Amino acid sequence: MLNSQSPVPLYHQLADLLTRQIRSGSYKKGDVIPSETLIAKQYKIGRPTVRQAMDILVRKGLVERKRGSGTFVREQEHQVDLFSLAGTSQAFLTKGIKTASKILEPVSVRKIDDDKNNPFNRKRAFFLSRLTLVQKDPVLLEDIYLHPELFLGIDRLELENRSLSGVVSDQYYLEPETARQTFKISFLPETKAGLLGLLPSDPILEVQRTLNFPGAKGAIFSRLYCRTDTFLFSQTMNLAMQ
């Protein structure tokens, strides 16, 4: 159900709910989605809210509108929109892909030195390292840094197999407002490469992501190492015409 008390907008909540229904098979390829009027009545919300949610599903490529016929579920491509603000776990979940996470280094406070690209360089930050697996195969390694005051107490939470973006939203009532991401090809040291089932000579996609929150720029910084031989990782971009 939708929660009107949540800081997450109702249209986002509805879009997430419908996405899960599509991914779980409640709505299959070719099925028609109920009309905006019926959905609005079912969830006791306005039609503009439903329309915003459906716009999100259209942009995600989950549904398509056919004039005079309605809105239908589309056939899904085998790719993961890993780089959205929704977070890595949600990116796989959106595609109906079950994952497991393995905490490699539990949350602890550390001093960050000699890391010029890290917004916490020469400061203290919470640090977490985790591995994401799909059907027991490693696909993604993340080193994550979090603001030690904004996320006070996160070191006492159970984070294994939990969405970090969900924890940030549910426990701290925070949603990122902007982000910056850079991409490059990297080579990992033997230990990290081994965690992903790679050799040090194997190239890997490295993504550096900085999330900015209201009044707290750079509150989360992460390095993601992605096995692109396993999944096609994509990024959705919303472009506005001026």
Of 52, 73, 94, which marks where a domain is finished? 73
Q: Could you tell me the CATH number of the domain that includes residue 35?
A: 1.10.10.10
On whether both 35 and 140 belong to a single domain, the answer is no
On whether both 104 and 38 belong to a single domain, the answer is no
On whether both 92 and 203 belong to a single domain, the answer is yes
Whether residue 241 lies inside any domain: the answer is no
On whether both 67 and 93 belong to a single domain, the answer is no
Cα–Cα distance for residue pair 118/104, rounded to 1 Å: 20
On whether both 115 and 220 belong to a single domain, the answer is yes
Of 46, 73, 100, which marks where a domain is finished? 73
Q: Could you tell me the CATH number of the domain that includes residue 167?
A: 3.40.1410.10
DSSP 107-131: EEEEE--S-TTSTTTTSEEEEEEEE
Whether residue 5 lies inside any domain: the answer is no
Whether residue 1 lies inside any domain: the answer is no
For residue 50, the enclosing domain spans 10-73
Residue-level pLDDT at 141: 95
185 pLDDT above the threshold of 50 = yes
234 pLDDT above the threshold of 60 = no
Residue-level pLDDT at 31: 92
On whether both 69 and 84 belong to a single domain, the answer is no
Q: What is the pLDDT of residues 66-82, one digit of tens each?
A: 988 899 998 765 455 55
On whether both 118 and 227 belong to a single domain, the answer is yes
Whether residue 60 lies inside any domain: the answer is yes
Whether residue 25 lies inside any domain: the answer is yes
Whether residue 30 lies inside any domain: the answer is yes
175 pLDDT above the threshold of 70 = yes
Report which of residues 175 and 86 the model is more confident about: 175
Q: What is the pLDDT of residues 105-149, one digit of tens each?
A: 999 999 999 999 999 999 999 999 999 888 788 889 999 999 999
Cα–Cα distance for residue pair 242/238, rounded to 1 Å: 13
On whether both 58 and 173 belong to a single domain, the answer is no
41 pLDDT above the threshold of 90 = yes
Least confident of 85-94, 122-131, 213-222: 85-94
On whether both 84 and 192 belong to a single domain, the answer is yes
Whether residue 239 lies inside any domain: the answer is no
What total number of domains does the chain contain? Answer: 2
Residue-level pLDDT at 241: 42
Q: Model-level pTM greater than 0.75?
A: no
87 pLDDT above the threshold of 80 = no
Of 36, 52, 73, which marks where a domain is finished? 73
